[in-house]
Amino acid sequence: MKLPEGLAGVVISETKISSTKDAILTYAGYPINELKDAPFEEVVYLLWHKKLPTESQLKEVRHQLVDEMKLPDETIRLMKYVALEPQHPMSILRTTVSLLGTTHNDVRRDQPLKILSKMLTAIAAIIRLRDNQELMKVNPQWGVVENFMYLFTGKRPTPSQVSMFNTVMVLHADHEFNASTFTGRVVASTQADYYSCLTAAVCALKGPLHGGANEQVFKMLEEIRHTGQKPIDYVNKRIAAGKKIMGFGHRIYKDGDPRAKILRGIAEQIADETNNSVYFNLQEQIRDYMFEKTHLHPNVDYYTALIYHCLGLDKSTFTTMFAACRTAGWLAHIMEQQSDGCLIRPSSEYVGPTGRHYPGHEKENQKK
């Protein structure tokens, strides 16, 4: 019996959160292209409650999220200690999420809102601490996206930047049963706490085949620019060596990732505004040639790599930014799985050796 690799095409559960059916991404039934300009807080509410909030509900959610965008002093102290060691930011995030579970773990109904706020603040703090920069404090008059950008850049973003990054966060908020979400749901099915589930999701996202592609995309762009290679020559050398061109192809979207189509315009605009058009032009050349040679389209990681760079982020922190955006979706799935109450426990097909006996038991088994 031939088994599907990586559970491809296997439906293991039902969900009301998001769908990629027919290669169309929807959140609770709403197409992503209609939600791309919706406030991030509104999309969070939609993912968690499966309906859009009223004006007063949206205002309350925004207020609660911003109000909780601060970390316990003990958490900050320990984060500073962890950040002293030279390690990947995702390793620091993994430890930090687990740490948050020991310094902030109440069981009140609004816990997911608080956890999302703490996650955003912690990720911004990781970015600042790695560069020995002071931690910033939120402005209660600003929204979640504007405050988050201020926390990790140290500068108030322009309205245009807030609008663009809001779309980035919305597009990354959820994506059905991807590797990290499924990992979180497996842990949630054991009725483990939120932080244990999120820690597991972060660990899955850390792997380069899932969340690390954006970092590799910008590494590629830097290498092409600094060596003076022609993009086509670079691509051909990689392919000839049996290596992947990161940021292309998707298991679900064979005719192009709908998120990438939206992000392309944002990447072009922000690259122009920050004098980084040279990178966008490289991306366009690679995109055209990759389609001509392999018929593969860019995925969500391809353009976010350039967007994050234009916001002043080091490429090693790109995946932590992915985690910041995806936490809303992770929490939605954790809540849904816990309410389902079913333990996820699949079976496997054993293909190893059989009929073996431990030394000294051969005769005993021959008598049977």
> Rounded to an integer, what distance in angstroms lies between the CA atom of residue 31 and that of residue 38?
12
Task: Determine the residue type at 97.
Answer: V
- The secondary structure of 311-330, three-state, reads CCCCHHHHHHHHHHHHHHHH
Distance of CA 203 to the CA centre of its chain: 11
Task: Determine the residue type at 304.
Answer: T
Phi, psi for residue 81 in degrees, rounded to 5: -70, -45
Instruction: Measure the CA dihedral 297/298/300/306, to 10°.
Output: -170
- Cβ distance 332 to 47 under 8 Å? yes
Contacting residues for 251 by C-beta, under 8 A, at least 6 apart: 6, 8
- Cβ distance 149 to 165 under 8 Å? yes
Phi, psi for residue 44 in degrees, rounded to 5: -60, -50
Closest CA to 218 of 278, 150, 297: 278
- The residues that are catalytic are 250, 301
